[in-house]
Amino acid sequence: MAEVITMPRLSDTMTEGKVAKWHKKVGDKVKEGDILAEIETDKAVQDFESEVEGTLLYVGVEEGNAAVVDSVLAIIGKEGEDISGLTGGAAAPSTSEDKKEEPKAEAAAAQEASTEVPAGVEVITMPRLSDTMTEGKVAKWHKNVGDTVKEGDLLAEIETDKAVQDFESEFNGVLLKQGVEEGGAAPVDSVLAIIGPAGTDVSGVGAAKPAAASSEKPAEQKTEAKTEEKAAPVANASSSDRVAISPLAKKMAQDKGVDINAVQGSGENGRIVKKDIENYQPSAKPASSAPAASGAAQVALSFVQGEDTESQNSQVRNIIAKRLSESKFSAPHYYLMVEINMDKAIEARKEINSLPDTKISFNDMIIKATAVALRKHPQVNSSWAGDKIIHRGNINIGVAVAIPDGLVVPVLKNTDQMTYTQISAAVKDMAGRAKNKGLKANEMEGSTFSISNLGMFGIETFTSIINQPNAAILSVGAIIEKPVVKNGQIVVGNIMKLSLACDHRVVDGATGAQFLQTLKTYLESPLTLLL
C-alpha cells in the first residue's frame, strides 16, 4: 500500500519547509535511507531521507517551492499503483503568489536578488543559523572573487548570536561577488555571495545592503574545517575527512552517544543512515581523543602602563550579556549549597579507569549522577512559560564551556540514558570543538538543566546565573582535602562543594533541597546509581 510522506517538522520553530532540491524523480526506485530531497527550514538546509521502500509515485511540492508542515510532500508505493484517492487532498505546491505572504526579510531578499539572474548563476543569501539569529557577520572569507568554488568548499566563517560557524558552498562555479565585506554584517536572507560560470555579468543582480563594517579587525580565525549541515561534526578534520551522515542518523547518534567516526555507513558513497546507527555495536576502541573539557580563559590582553585600551564586543559576547541580564533580572534566583564527601567517588573512578581504553573525569560522574537525580525530581527539569510550567520529557544537560569570546553551553541530549564513557566522549568532543568555534547552533539548544564546573581552577564554591529557559544550574567546585569527623574521629576527607541556583517560580526551596540530597547520595555512594 502506498505511503504518504508529509513535510517534516525539522525544528521546533518550523512552520513550513521549502524543497531546495529533489534527489529522486517520479518513477525512481527508492530505498530506505535514500535521500529524497533537501528541505530548507527556518534554520538550515537539511537532507530528508526515506524511511520506506518503493517507487516515487507523486511529488507534492515542486523544487523551489514551499509547503506547510504535515502537508503532502511525496507518495511512495508500488509501481503503477493507483493513488488518486491519496492525491485528492494533497497540498498543492506553493506558487509565486504564496510567497507574497513570506516575512518581510525574505521579501526584501527576493527583491535584492533580481529575477533576471543569468543562467547557471546561484545567489547565496545570509543563512539563519539559529532560531534567534536576525543578522550575521562575516568573520572571514575563505574564497575571494574569482576563485573556483566546489560543492562542500568553505566559503566563509559566519558569526551569529551564538557562535562562529563555517558556511560551505552547495554549488560549483566561480565566486563572482561578495555581498558582505569581511568584518561587515547583513540581515538574514540578504545577498551573501553569487556563484556562477566564470566571466558572467552579475551587475544586474541585486546587491546586498549590509550593516556598516565594524572598525575592529576580526580576530584571526583558524582555518581548519569544522562542521557542516549535511555532515556530522569532526574536530579539526579536513574537508576530505568529513563523515557523511544523514540528519536523522546524526540525531540518533547524538541521542545514543554513538561515536560516528566508528560507524560504517551503508548508504550512498558510504553515507551513514538510520539503520547503521540502529545496528551499531560499540567496540573497545577509545571513544574520543579530543581535548579535555577544561575551562578556557578569555584572550589575554597586553597591559600598557597609563594607557586605556578598548576592544569591540563580538556578537557572541553581546548576546551572552543580554541573556544573562534577562535571566538574572527576570528570574528570582536563590541558592542552595551542600558539601559532598568524594572519597567513594574517587575510589569508583580509579576502578572504572583501570578498565582497558577507559578514562572518565569527576565531571563525567557528576553529569551522570545529576541526570539520574533529575529523573526522581522532574520539577527541577522544568521551565517557566508565563502562565504555565513545562515539565520536560527528556533530560538534556548543558555543560558550560569557556571560550575566548565568553561562554557556550553544548548540550548532551538524553543524558540519563548515556553511559560514563559516552558522556566522557561527547563532552570532550563538544568542548574541543567549542574552543575551535566548530559547534553548530543546534548543538547548543534544547538544554533542560545546566552544569558549570570551575573546580579545575581551584575554586571551592561559587554561584551561577541560570541558563534560560532552564529552572536551575549546578555550580561545581574543586575537591579539597579537609579534616572531617568520621565515626567520632577526625580524619582527612575529600570534600567538594556544590551550589544549586534555582528559579523560585518553578523550583521551591524544599524541592531544590530534596534534589541536592538525592545527588549527594549518588555521589557519596556511586553504586546507588545502579539501583
- pLDDT per residue over 26-77, tens digit each? 999 999 888 989 888 765 678 888 888 999 999 999 998 888 888 899 999 9
Per-residue model confidence (pLDDT) at position 286:
38
Contact 208, 190 (CB under 8 A): yes
Q: Is residue 221's pLDDT more than 70?
A: no
Q: Which of 67, 81, 66, 68 is nearest to 3 (CA)?
A: 81
**pLDDT score of 521 more than 70:** yes
Q: What is the Cα–Cα distance from 191 to 203, expressed in whole angstroms?
A: 13
By DSSP bridging, strand 397-399 and strand 333-341 are unpaired
| Mean pLDDT value across the chain | 80
Instruction: List pLDDT tens digits, range 144-155.
Output: 999 999 887 888
Per-residue confidence (pLDDT) for residue 492, from 0 to 100? 93
| pLDDT for residue 2 is more than 80 | yes
Residue 226 has pLDDT above 50, yes or no: no
pLDDT at 298: 58
What pLDDT score does 283 carry?
52
First to last CA, the chain: 46
Of 276-290, 309-323, 325-339, 452-466, least confident by mean pLDDT is 276-290
Least confident of 161-165, 349-353, 451-455, 459-463: 161-165
Q: How far apart are CA 516 and CA 15, in angstroms?
A: 40
The yes-or-no verdict on residue 335 having pLDDT over 70 is yes
For residue 245, what pLDDT is reported? 79
Active site residue 391: no
Sequence-distant (6+) residues with CB within 8 A of 458 are: 478
Asked if residue 108 has pLDDT above 80, the reply is no
Residue 452's pLDDT band, with cuts at 50, 70 and 90, is very high
Q: Which residue has the cell 570532550?
A: 428
Say what the pLDDT of residue 415 is: 96
User: What is the average pLDDT across 84-104?
Assistant: 50
* 308 is known as an active-site residue: no
Residue 239: predicted pLDDT: 34
Alpha-carbon span 429 to 289, nearest angstrom:
8
Using omega within 30 degrees of 0 as the cis cutoff, is the peptide bond preceding 469 cis? yes
For residue 322, pLDDT beyond 80: yes
pLDDT given for residue 94 in this prediction: 40
List the catalytic residue out of 12, 147, 201, 508.
508
C-alpha 500: how far from its chain's center? 25
Supply the pLDDT for residue 399: 95
Quick one: pLDDT at residue 495? 96
Q: What is the pLDDT of residues 231-288, one digit of tens each?
A: 333 333 333 345 777 766 776 777 677 778 778 887 766 778 777 887 777 654 333 3
What Rg, from alpha-carbon coordinates, does the chain have?
Answer: 25
191 with 127: CB under 8 angstroms?
no
**pLDDT at residue number 359:** 92
User: Of 107-111, 113-117, 353-357, 400-404, which one has max mean pLDDT?
Assistant: 353-357
Give the three-state DSSP class for 210.
coil
